[in-house]
Structure 1
Amino acid sequence: MSGPEGPSATPVHPAVALALGAAGYVALVIFGLGMTSLVLDRDVIAVPGLGQVPGVIGTILSAIGFAGGVWPWLRATRPSYGGAGVSAVLAYLGYVAGIAIGGIFSGADAAAAFSAAGGVAVSWFGLVVAGAAGAAAWGALALVRTHAERPRWPWESEDDE
C-alpha cells in the first residue's frame, strides 16, 4: 500500500521531525532533571548563588546541540539511528557548556561556574540530559525512516478518498 509517490516517499518531512524531536527533547530533559532532582534530593546545579540563568542557558545550548546533531541524519537518504548517539553527545556537551557560560553570565566567578558545570557533567543529571536527547533523536529519526501511512479504521478503504 504505497502512496502515489512510491515506497521511497517519507511521510514526515525532516524539518517537521526535527521540530517534534526538539520539542520532545526539551520536555523530556525538563521532566527528567526534575524527577532526578526529586529522587536524589539534590539540586541540579548544586553551587549556591548561581540562580536559574545557567540552567536556562544550558537547556538552550543543549537544544541547539540536539538539533545540530540530529539534523544531518534526518536529511540523509536513509537515516541511521546512529544520529541519536551523536545528538546525545552534542546535547550533553551543550548542556555542560551552557551551565559554565550561564554561571559566568549570572555574575558568579569562573571557579563557581565551572564547578557547577563539572558537577552536572559527572552526575546522574548529565546522564539524564544525554538519555533524553538520545530518546528524542531516535523518535525523530523513526518518524523519517518509517514509511507508514496514517492510521485507518477497518472500514476505511482507499476508494473513499
Structure 2
Amino acid sequence: MSAPAPQGVRPLVALGFATVAFIALLIFGLGMLSLLLDADVIGVPGLGQVPGVVGTVLATASFAAVLWAGLRRAGAGLRPSFLGALWCAVAAFLGYVLGVWLGAVFSGSDLAASAAAAGGVAAGWFGAVVAGAGFVAGWGGIALVRTRAGRPRWPWESDDDE
C-alpha cells in the first residue's frame, strides 16, 4: 500500500506562518534600514510611537486579509496564484502608510505633520521595506499551500517491505 499523495499546508496554517514571518521581516527590515541610514522610520519629530504602532497593525491586518483572499482558493480545489504576493505587498504598503497617517492624527498631530509623516514613509526606502516584507511573506505563504511535498523521511522509514 502506498502512502497518500502529499498535500500542501492547510491555508489557515500557512496564513499564520506567513503573518508571523511578515511581522518579523517588517520589524527587522525597518530596524536595519533605520540603523544603516541613521534616520528615523517616521521622520517628523514629536509624533511619538503611536503612528508606527498603528501603521504596523494596519499593515499586518491588510497583509493577512489579502493573503487569506488568495489562499481561500485552495479550499475550493484551486491552486493559489503567486501573483497574490504582489497584492500582499501593495496591501501592506498602503496599510502602513494609512496607519502612520491615522496614528499621527489620533495622537494629536495636525494634518500637515500627519501627511508629512505618511508621505515620508511612502516616498522613502522605509515604504519599500514594508512592501518587500509583504511580498516575501506573501510568496512564502502561497508556496506553503501550493507545494505538494511530503514530510522529510529517513531512508529506513520507507513503507516498502524489503
- TM-score category, normalised to shorter length: over 0.9
Whole-angstrom CA distance in 2 between matches of 1:3 and 1:13: 19
Query: Match of 1:27?
Result: 24
CA shift for structure 1 position 94? 0.2
Query: Match of 1:18?
Result: 15
RMSD: 1.5
Q: Which runs of 5+ in 1 are unaligned?
A: none
The residue type paired with residue 68 of structure 2 is W
Residues 7 and 150 of structure 2 are in contact (CA less than 8 Å); yes or no, is this contact kept in structure 1? no
CA shift for structure 1 position 72? 1.7
Whole-angstrom CA distance in 2 between matches of 1:74 and 1:148: 17
Query: Match of 2:45?
Result: 48
Give the aligned length.
156
Whole-angstrom CA distance in 2 between matches of 1:124 and 1:3: 48
Query: Match of 1:97?
Result: 98
CA shift for structure 1 position 74? 1.1
Q: TM-score, normalised by structure 1?
A: 0.92
Query: Match of 1:88?
Result: 89
Query: After TM superposition, where is structure 1 displaced by more than 3 Å over at least 4 residues in a row?
Result: none
Q: State, as a whole percentage, how many aligned pairs show the same letter.
A: 60
Structure 1 segment 1-161 matched on structure 2, within 5 A: 3-4=3-4, 6=5, 10-76=7-73, 77-158=78-159
Per-residue CA distance 1:48-105 (angstroms, 9 max, x = gap): 0100000000000000110111112112111110000001001100000000000011
Whole-angstrom CA distance in 2 between matches of 1:10 and 1:64: 27
SS of corresponding position for 2:153? coil
Residues 93 and 131 of structure 2 are in contact (CA less than 8 Å); yes or no, is this contact kept in structure 1? yes
CA shift for structure 1 position 21? 0.3
Whole-angstrom CA distance in 2 between matches of 1:73 and 1:36: 30
Cα distance 1:122–1:3, how it changes in 2: closer, same or farther (>3 A)?
A: farther
